Amino acid sequence: KVQQYTLIIQATDMEGNPTYGLSNTATAVITVTDVNDNPPEFTAMTFYGEVPENRVDVIVANLTVTDKDQPHTPAWNAMYRMTGGDSTGRFTILTDPNSNDGLVTVVKPIDFETNRIFVLTVAAENQVPLAKGIQHPPQSTATVSITVIDVNESPYFVPNPKLIRQEEGLLAGSMLTTFTAQDPDRYMQQTSLRYSKLSDPANWLKIDPVNGQITTTAVLDRESIYVQNNMYNATFLASDNGIPPMSGTGTLQIHLLDINDNAPQVNPKEATTCETLQPNAINITAVDPDIDPNAGPFAFELPDTPASIKRNWTIVRISGDHAQLSLRIRFLEAGIYDVPIVITDSGNPHASSTSVLKVKVCQCDINGDCTDVDRIVGAGLGTGAIIAILLCIIILLILVLMFVVWMKRRDKERQAKQLLIDPEDDVRDNILKYDEEGGGEEDQDYDLSQLQQPDTVEPDAIKPVGIRRLDERPIHAEPQYPVRSAAPHPGDIGDFINEGLKAADNDPTAPPYDSLLVFDYEGSGSTAGSLSSLNSSSSGGEQDYDYLNDWGPRFKKLADMYGGGDD
């Protein structure tokens, strides 16, 4: 109730005479130390909780207590323990260090079909015992009622895994076994389970979706790559229609018993020996996929036909799985021989097969080794080697063809580039060529015959001798002009043109044109006069250009330049 007392104490001398005595005061602080004189007490006699089945680490109830001692001290801290109702140890009670409450927690799964409700008896006490002389009981007790909630659980196969023993060779469509599951939800309204196949590596089995009957869809083979240590595993699925739907898996293990369904074979398939009788032994081994007692020891023998086999060869068994093949005759010509060997196992009934051993007979040195040349001749090339060589040849031809095509394409590109003129070397910088657009409707009626060469229209044979057109190029030897420098003219462009004009005027062999360009014949009947009458050296001052003023505004500039008289 009171944790601390504060006292003010006065002391007076002269025997406490208030008239003559002197006095003084002091303060005394007295702290009351708590002892465990109050045990914890539950706030209720019964607590309730619920939990879904198969859930763990879930708090299902919160136990509250009161304690009048100092909080967060050993006299206040509560400890909880169960005194009854949990014989299987499915619950535990933890203490909340802040609130001092007890937390009832599930530590083991609970099955609704086994236990629907739990009634626990719990007790609470402090970390330290009560002080002496306290009349209160040392602990407080209460009851905890926990209800289990039913949920949809997964069906389970019984047993899982299921092991059966079966001889291999069971035909397709044969009934193998029945593999069913159980639904633990006995109190839920739901239909029967449905079965399906989850894993079947060899695809040998199928299961009936209603009754779980397993039948074969192919022949069971112990020697299959899907069988490990004579064991074949398949997994199946069982599903219910609850909310939510649940499913469970089961594994079927089939231990396959061996039967004598495989005949032995010879190993290796190829061997080499010498032409002579000694040394010429070839060691061979019989291989059988079956196991005892359907395997070795094996019997080796040569067939009766063809007769040359027993005449040339002999075979001797040296152990249960091994034999030795050798020449019977003193000499056998080098080459490749197919030697059939009949091998029989020890199964009941026996299984035998005729294996062909390809023997390469070659000339040998003194050590019994084939010489290099004879070895190559005797060995020959297998099918795989021939295919590999052909593929290499085809790839090489394709590469050569691609290289030739690439070279031709590069030559064409190089020739196309040579036809292009570098803009820096083109002297016709100011000459732009445009497409011919025609002269309108009046210029659409063409006479293509006028485009022919004059020699074609008028052969030289019918022309009078010595008479030629004035506008034709005269037949003279080509004049030899001095080579002009390719460098640009240092002076004015007008001087350059005048010099060229003067050179043309003084050349008696030059055709009567204003330039040295020679054009093809364009036909007769032109309304324009012949240009041959123009004198290149004449001046334009004698011409009358006043008629340019009548040609419209487009020729106004020319009229101003040439029709203005002296101005």
The pLDDT assigned to 231 comes to: 93
Most distant pair of Cα atoms in the chain: their distance: 184
What's 41-149's CATH class? mainly beta
Q: Which overall architecture, per CATH, does domain 156-257 show?
A: Sandwich (2.60)
What is the Cα–Cα distance from 506 to 58, expressed in whole angstroms? 124
Q: How many CA atoms lie within 13 A of 212 on its CB side?
A: 21
What secondary structure letter does DSSP report for 98?
T
The pLDDT assigned to 379 comes to: 47
What is the Cα–Cα distance from 450 to 438, expressed in whole angstroms? 17
Pick the CATH number of 265-362 from 3.30.1330.60, 2.60.40.60, 3.10.560.10, 2.40.37.10: 2.60.40.60
End-to-end distance of the chain based on CA atoms, in angstroms? 136
The structure tokens listed for 181 are 């599951």
Low-confidence residues of the chain: pLDDT under 70:
189-191, 277-280, 368, 372-382, 417-491, 509-543, 563-567
The structure tokens listed for 339 are 């030697």
> What φ, ψ does residue 105 adopt, rounded to 5°?
-125, 145
Asked if the bond preceding 264 is cis, omega within 30° of 0, the reply is: no
The pLDDT assigned to 80 comes to: 93
Question: Would you say 40 and 124 are in contact if contact means Cβ atoms under 8 Å apart?
Answer: yes
pTM of the model: 0.50
The pLDDT assigned to 467 comes to: 47
Question: Would you say 71 and 38 are in contact if contact means Cβ atoms under 8 Å apart?
Answer: no
What is the Cα–Cα distance from 103 to 91, expressed in whole angstroms? 10
The pLDDT assigned to 432 comes to: 57
The segment(s) of the chain belonging to CATH 2.60.40.60 are 41-149, 156-257, 265-362
The pLDDT assigned to 463 comes to: 46
The residue type found at 267 is N
The pLDDT assigned to 279 comes to: 64
